[in-house]
C-alpha cells in the first residue's frame, strides 16, 4: 500500500544500470549498454551553458559557439567534422546534430560501432568540442549569415508568438530571452567575446559525456572517454553556474499580442509552479503522478467542451514543461474564432473552477487511471527494447536538472502503489494550483486589434466571481458504451493460405475476397502495425464533386466514421492502445493503425466498424463541421506561407480543380451528404482491400480474430468502387512546357525570402521501377551538395531541402510519370537571385561532370547505415511488404515482388559509378537544367527579384 512507503525517502541520485562517474578534471560521464538500435551508439556532449548565462553584449553567443563547433577545431579544419559524419553514414543538417537551449548546449552524434575506431573518433570529436573549438575572425564571419538566416526563420509568426509569451511569462528574469540571440550581437560580436564565454563556461565541471549504445561492455567506452578527455584541463578558474530566479507575481499578467501574419486567433493561460531544488523524494514522485492524472482528466474535459455544437473554441492543447530551470509551466491553449477569444478564455477558466468546486467525477478518474495503467504496461513490455535515445534524454535531464533516472520496474512499482489508493479528491485538489491569480499569465493572439487587456481582465473577474458565488454547476457526464461492436459479426472462412519464406510472411485470402498478409516479429514486444489499401480514390470522382469528396475523410471523421462521435470513441478506447484511421488519396483508399498485441482484437474491431458503420450527417453535425471547415479554410487564406505553397503548386502542377487552393467561399458548394456517401462507398467492399499486419503476433490467436472481424465484413450485393490499377483516371497535372518565374510579395514583419525551384521528372511510369533508386540517390546528393555550396562556400543560408513530389503520379505501368523535384531554401532577400544562379550552376555542373566517387560512397554509406537501423523496426518491414503489393511489377506473388526490389537495390549498388549517376540525373530532370524549370519566390512586399538568364 502507498501509505507503507517511506514518502520522505530520497530517490537514488545514481542512474540505474549506468556506468557513472567523474574524471579528475571534473568531467561527468555516463555509459549505458542498450542494444536498440543494434550496432549503434548515441553520443552526447552536454554543457550547462545556455543563453541564460549570457550578458547583454553576449546574447546569442552560446548558440554561435554551437555553430562554430562544426566549422573547425584544433584537429579538424574547415567542416572536416561534417565530412567525417557523412563518410561514416550520418546525415548532417540544421538542428540535427546540436541544440542550444536556455540552460544548456547539446552536441549529439549517432554513430555505427561495428569498428571501435569510429566510436573512438566520434568521442574525440566531442572532446574537441569541449575545449578546442576554433574561434577566429574568419570562422565567425563565415557563420554570421547562416545564423542570421536561422534568426529570420525563427522569427516567423510562431516564433514571435513564443517570444511575446516568454517575455511576459519570464518578465524581469534572464529566462525571457531566446537562444538565437540578438541581431546586433550576431552581426558584430568579436572573437574575443566569444572566446571569453567559451573559456569561462565550457569548464569540465559543467560538461558531461553521455554514451548509450550496443556496447559489449561499458569499461571499453569509459576508457575511450578517459583517453580523449582525461588529459584536458579547464581554463576557467571559477565556473559555478549561478542560480537565476523567476520572480513570482501575486496578480495575473495579461498581454494582447497582435500580429498581421497571425492566421488564426487563440488564447493561452499559463500557470507557473516552482520546481523543488531538493533531491526528489517518493512524495515528490507521487505528486508527479497526481499531476499527470490531473492533466489527463483535464484534457479530456476540455476536449469534450470543444466537441459541443456551440463550442467556444475549435482546438485545445494542454502541456507542461521545464521552460526554465526554476519553474514548471503549465500551458492551456485554445484556438478559436477571431471574435471568440473571450468565450474561449471563459470556457477554460470555468472548467478549472468547476473542478475546484465539484471535483472530477468517478468516471473521469477511472478513465484517467485506465490510461496511465495502459502506459505503464506498454513501458514495462518494452523495458528491454527502448531506443537508446530514450535513455539518452533521461541522462541529459539527470545532468542538467538533477532528475533521478529510475528503472522502469521501479517506476512501475511506485505508480501502481500510488494509483491503488489515489482518490478523486486528491486529483481534483490539484486544480487549486491553477487559479488565475498567483503566477498566472494570460495572452491572446489575433491578426488585428480587437480584444483588449481590459477584456481579458474582465473575463477573469467574471469567472472568479461565479466561482466565489458557487454558481457554476457540476459536470454532466454522459454514459459510455461498453463495447465497440454491438452486433457481432458472422466469421468468414479462409480460402487460401500461402507462405512466403523469403520475407517470413503468410498471406491469407479470405472468403469475402480480402487479402491479408501478416509477418510475426520480435523486434518490439509491444507493437503491431496494420494498414490496408485499395485502388481507386479522388481521381475517380467528377470535377463537380471533387471538393466535397476530397473533404470526405475530415467530414466523416468529425461525424464519426466508426459508429461513434470521436469523443465517445476515445472514451470507449481509453486504456486501449488500438488506433485506426482512414485516408482517401488521389489513387487509393487506405486505413492504418497500430496497437499492443493484447489489443489486436480491438484494432480489428475498429476496421470492421469502418466498413459497417453508417455515416449520416444530422443538422447539428452539419453546423459543427461547417464551422470547423470555415475556421480551417480561413486560417489557410490568412497564412501567407500557405498561400505561397498553393501558388507554387498551381505553377508546377497546372491550374485545375486538383491544385486550386480551397477558399471559404467554396464551402457553399460542399455537399456533406455527398461527402459521406463517397466515404461510405470507399469503405464498403472488402474484396478490394489488401491488408498488411506486422509485429508481435501469435498466429493461433491472430488468425481466428482475422477470420472473425476481417473475413466477417459482408460483401455488398454488387461490387463497389472496384478498380484495376492500370485503368485509373489521371488527375490533371501539367508541368509548364517552358521556364516560368514568378515572384509573390507579402508584407512581412521579419523580412526573408523563400525560394522554390522545381524541375519536372521526365520519366514514364514503366521506368519508375528502375529509376526509383536514382531519384532517392539524387535527392540525397543534391541536398548534400547544395548545402555545401549555399551554406559552407557562400555562407548565405541556414538549411535547404530537396523534395520529390509525386502526389499526382499514377500507380500504373502506363502513361507518363507526374512529379517534380524541388529545391527549397530561405535567405536574405538581397541575395536571392545570386543563390538561385548558384543552385542552377551546381546542378548543371553535376549533370555535366557527375558526382565524385567519394561523394557516391558517402551517399551509399548513409543509405546502408539507415537500412541497418530500419531493418530492426516493424515499420520498415510493414512498408516494404506494402510497397511490394503496390509495386508496378506485382502480379500476385508478393514474395517475388519483394525479391525483385531487393535485387534491383543490389544491382543498383553494384553498378553505380559517377558516370551512371550522371547519366541518370540527365534523364531524371531536363538537361541542361537551366533551360527548363519553375522558380517561385516569396519576397517582402517592397522587394523584387530581377530575372537573369
Active site residues: 66, 143
Q: Rounded to an integer, what distance in angstroms lies between the CA atom of residue 6 and that of residue 281?
A: 9
Q: Are residues 61 and 54 in contact, defined by beta-carbon separation less than 8 angstroms?
A: yes
Measured over the CA atoms of residue 777, residue 780, residue 783 and residue 784, the dihedral's sign is negative
Q: Rounded to an integer, what distance in angstroms lies between the CA atom of residue 929 and that of residue 836?
A: 12
Which set of grid coordinates corresponds to residue 553? 475523410
Bridge partners (DSSP) of residue 281 are 10
Bridge partners (DSSP) of residue 584 are 589
Percentage helix, strand, coil for the chain under 3-state DSSP, each rounded to 5: 45, 20, 35
Measured over the CA atoms of residue 164, residue 170, residue 171 and residue 174, the dihedral's sign is negative
Secondary structure of 859-928 as H, E, C letters = HHHHHHHHHHHHCCCHHHHHHHHHHHHHCCCCCCCHHHHHHHHHHHHHHHHHHCCHHHHHHHHHHHCCCC
Give the total residue count for the chain.
949
Q: Are residues 439 and 371 in contact, defined by beta-carbon separation less than 8 angstroms?
A: no
**Residue whose C-alpha is closest to residue 145's, from 916, 752, 944, 603:** 752
* One-character DSSP codes across 301-362: HHHHHHTSTT-S-SEEEEEEEEEETTEEEEEEEEEE-TT-HHHHHHHHHHHHHHHHHH---H
CA dist list (Å): 397 to 13, 41, 48, 105, 403? 12, 19, 11, 12, 6
* One-character DSSP codes across 486-541: SS------EEEEEEETTTTEEEEEETTS-EEEEEE--S-TT-EEEEEEEE--GGGS
Q: Write the CB contacts of 688 (distance below 8 Å, at least 6 apart in sequence).
A: 513, 534, 535, 536, 589, 720, 721, 722, 723
Q: Write the CB contacts of 5 (distance below 8 Å, at least 6 apart in sequence).
A: 282, 414, 417
CA dist list (Å): 291 to 279, 288, 580? 18, 5, 29
DSSP assignment letter at 930: G
Q: Rounded to an integer, what distance in angstroms lies between the CA atom of residue 53 and that of residue 179?
A: 11
Q: List the alpha helices (DSSP H) in 639-722.
A: 640-653, 672-682, 699-705
Phi, psi angles (nearest 5°) of residue 123: -65, -35
For residue 248, say if its preceding peptide bond is cis, omega within 30 degrees of 0.
no
* Residue found by looking up cell 519566390 in the block: 937
Give the max Cα distance, the chain: 84
Q: Is 802 helix (H, G, I), strand (E, B) or coil?
A: strand
Q: Rounded to an integer, what distance in angstroms lies between the CA atom of residue 572 and that of residue 342?
A: 32
**Residue whose C-alpha is closest to residue 836's, from 745, 742, 749, 940:** 742
Buried residues in 309-318 as b, exposed as e (16+ CB within 10 A): eebbbbbbeb
Amino acid at each position: 500500500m502507498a501509505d507503507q512507503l517511506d514518502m520522505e525517502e530520497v530517490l537514488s541520485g545514481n542512474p540505474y544500470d549506468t556506468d557513472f562517474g567523474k574524471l579528475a578534471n571534473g568531467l561527468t560521464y555516463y555509459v549505458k549498454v542498450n542494444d536498440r538500435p543494434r550496432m549503434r551508439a548515441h553520443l552526447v556532449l552536454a554543457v550547462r551553458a545556455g543563453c541564460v548565462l549570457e550578458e547583454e553584449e553576449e546574447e546569442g553567443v552560446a548558440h554561435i559557439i554551437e555553430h562554430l563547433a562544426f566549422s573547425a577545431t584544433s584537429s579538424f579544419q574547415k567542416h572536416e567534422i561534417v565530412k567525417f559524419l557523412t563518410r561514416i553514414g550520418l546525415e548532417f543538417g540544421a538542428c540535427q546534430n546540436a541544440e542550444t537551449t536556455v540552460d544548456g548546449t547539446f552536441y549529439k552524434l549517432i554513430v555505427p560501432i561495428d569498428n571501435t575506431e569510429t566510436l573512438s573518433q566520434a568521442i574525440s570529436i566531442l572532446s574537441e568540442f569541449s575545449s578546442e573549438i576554433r574561434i577566429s575572425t574568419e570562422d565567425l564571419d563565415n557563420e554570421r549569415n547562416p545564423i542570421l538566416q536561422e534568426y529570420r526563420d525563427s522569427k516567423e509568426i510562431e516564433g514571435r508568438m513564443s517570444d511575446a509569451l516568454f517575455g511576459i511569462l519570464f518578465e524581469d528574469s534572464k529566462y525571457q530571452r531566446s537562444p538565437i540571440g540578438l541581431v546586433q550581437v550576431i552581426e558584430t560580436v568579436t572573437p574575443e567575446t566569444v572566446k571569453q564565454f567559451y573559456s569561462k563556461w565550457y569548464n569540465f565541471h559543467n560538461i558531461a559525456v553521455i554514451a548509450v549504445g550496443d556496447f559489449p561492455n561499458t569499461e571499453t567506452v569509459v576508457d575511450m572517454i578517459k583517453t580523449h578527455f582525461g588529459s584536458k584541463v579547464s581554463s576557467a578558474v571559477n565556473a559555478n553556474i549561478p542560480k537565476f530566479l523567476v520572480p513570482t507575481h501575486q496578480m495575473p499578467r495579461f498581454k494582447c499580442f497582435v500580429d498581421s501574419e497571425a492566421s488564426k486567433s487563440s488564447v493561452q493561460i499559463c500557470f507557473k509552479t516552482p520546481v523543488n531544488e531538493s533531491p526528489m523524494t517518493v512524495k515528490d514522485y507521487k505528486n508527479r503522478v497526481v499531476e499527470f492524472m490531473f492533466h489527463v482528466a483535464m484534457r479530456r474535459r476540455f476536449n469534450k467542451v470543444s466537441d459541443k455544437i456551440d463550442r467556444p473554441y475549435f482546438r485545445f492543447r494542454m502541456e507542461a514543461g521545464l521552460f526554465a530551470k526554476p519553474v514548471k509551466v503549465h500551458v492551456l491553449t485554445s484556438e478559436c474564432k477571431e471574435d471568440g477569444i473571450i468565450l474561449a478564455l471563459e470556457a477554460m477558466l470555468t472548467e478549472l473552477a468547476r473542478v475546484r468546486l465539484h471535483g472530477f467525477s468517478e468516471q473521469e478518474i477511472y478513465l484517467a487511471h485506465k490510461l496511465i495503467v495502459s502506459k505503464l504496461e506498454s513501458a514495462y513490455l518494452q523495458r528491454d527494447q527502448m531506443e537508446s535515445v530514450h535513455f539518452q534524454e533521461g541522462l541529459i535531464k539527470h545532468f542538467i536538472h538533477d532528475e533521478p533516472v529510475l528503472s522502469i520496474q521501479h517506476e512501475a512499482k511506485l505508480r501502481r502503489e500510488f494509483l491503488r489508493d489515489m482518490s478523486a479528491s486528491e486529483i481534483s485538489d490539484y486544480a487549486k494550483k491553477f487559479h488565475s491569480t498567483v503566477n498566472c499569465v494570460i495572452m491572446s493572439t489575433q491578426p488585428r486589434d480587437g480584444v483588449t487587456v481590459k477584456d481579458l481582465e474582465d473575463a477573469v473577474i467574471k469567472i472568479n466571481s461565479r466561482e466565489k458565488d458557487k454558481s457554476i454547476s457540476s459536470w454532466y457526464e454522459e454514459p459510455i458504451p461498453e463495447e465497440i461492436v454491438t452486433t457481432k459479426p458472422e466469421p468468414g472462412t479462409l480460402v487460401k493460405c500461402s507462405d512466403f519464406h523469403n520475407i517470413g510472411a503468410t498471406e491469407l485470402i479470405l472468403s469475402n475476397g480480402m487479402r491479408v498478409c501478416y509477418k510475426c516479429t520480435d523486434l518490439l514486444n509491444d507493437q503491431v502495425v496494420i494498414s490496408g489499401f485499395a485502388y481507386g480514390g479522388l481521381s475517380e470522382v467528377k470535377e463537380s464533386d471533387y471538393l466535397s469528396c476530397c473533404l470526405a475523410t475530415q467530414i466523416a471523421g468529425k461525424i464519426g466514421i466508426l459508429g461513434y462521435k470521436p469523443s465517445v470513441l476515445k472514451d470507449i478506447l481509453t486504456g486501449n492502445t488500438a488506433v485506426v484511421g482512414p485516408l482517401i488519396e488521389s489513387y487509393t483508399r487506405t486505413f492504418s493503425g497500430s496497437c499492443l498485441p493484447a489489443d489486436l482484437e480491438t484494432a480489428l474491431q475498429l476496421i470492421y466498424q469502418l466498413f459497417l458503420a453508417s455515416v449520416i450527417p444530422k443538422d447539428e453535425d452539419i453546423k459543427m463541421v461547417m464551422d470547423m471547415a470555415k475556421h480551417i479554410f480561413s486560417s489557410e487564406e490568412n497564412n501567407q506561407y500557405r498561400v505561397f505553397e498553393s501558388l507554387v503548386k498551381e505553377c508546377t502542377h497546372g491550374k485545375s480543380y486538383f491544385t486550386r487552393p480551397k477558399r471559404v467561399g467554396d464551402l457553399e458548394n460542399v455537399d456533406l451528404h455527398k461527402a459521406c456517401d463517397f466515404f461510405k462507398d470507399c469503405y464498403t467492399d472488402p474484396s478490394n482491400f489488401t491488408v498488411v499486419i506486422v509485429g508481435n503476433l501469435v498466429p493461433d490467436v491472430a488468425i481466428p480474430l482475422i477470420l472473425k472481424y476481417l473475413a466477417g465484413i459482408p460483401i455488398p450485393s454488387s461490387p463497389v468502387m472496384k478498380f484495376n490499377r492500370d485503368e485509373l483516371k489521371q488527375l490533371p497535372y501539367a508541368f509548364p512546357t517552358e521556364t516560368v518565374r514568378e515572384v509573390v510579395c507579402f508584407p512581412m514583419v521579419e523580412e526573408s525570402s523563400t525560394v522554390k525551384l522545381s524541375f519536372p521528372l521526365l520519366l514514364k511510369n514503366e521506368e519508375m521501377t528502375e529509376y526509383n533508386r536514382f531519384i532517392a540517390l539524387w535527392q540525397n546528393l543534391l541536398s548534400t551538395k547544395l548545402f555545401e555550396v549555399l551554406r559552407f562556400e557562400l555562407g548565405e543560408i541556414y538549411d535547404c531541402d530537396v523534395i520529390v513530389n509525386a502526389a499526382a503520379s499514377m500507380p500504373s505501368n502506363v502513361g507518363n510519370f507526374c512529379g517534380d523535384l524541388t529545391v527549397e531554401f530561405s535567405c536574405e532577400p538581397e541575395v536571392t537571385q545570386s543563390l538561385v544562379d548558384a543552385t542552377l550552376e551546381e546542378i548543371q555542373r553535376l549533370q555535366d561532370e557527375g558526382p565524385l566517387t567519394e561523394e557516391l560512397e558517402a551517399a551509399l554509406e548513409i543509405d546502408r547505415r539507415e537500412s541497418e537501423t530500419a531493418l530492426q523496426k516493424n515499420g520498415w518491414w510493414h512498408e516494404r511488404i506494402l510497397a511490394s503489393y503496390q509495386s508496378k511489377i506485382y502480379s500476385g506473388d508478393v514474395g517475388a515482388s519483394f525479391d525483385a526490389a531487393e535485387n534491383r537495390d543490389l544491382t543498383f549498388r553494384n553498378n553505380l559509378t559517377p558516370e551512371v549517376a550522371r547519366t541518370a540525373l540527365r534523364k531524371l530532370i531536363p538537361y541542361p537544367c537551366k533551360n527548363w524549370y519553375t522558380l517561385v519566390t516569396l519576397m517582402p512586399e517592397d522587394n523584387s527579384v530581377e530575372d537573369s538568364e
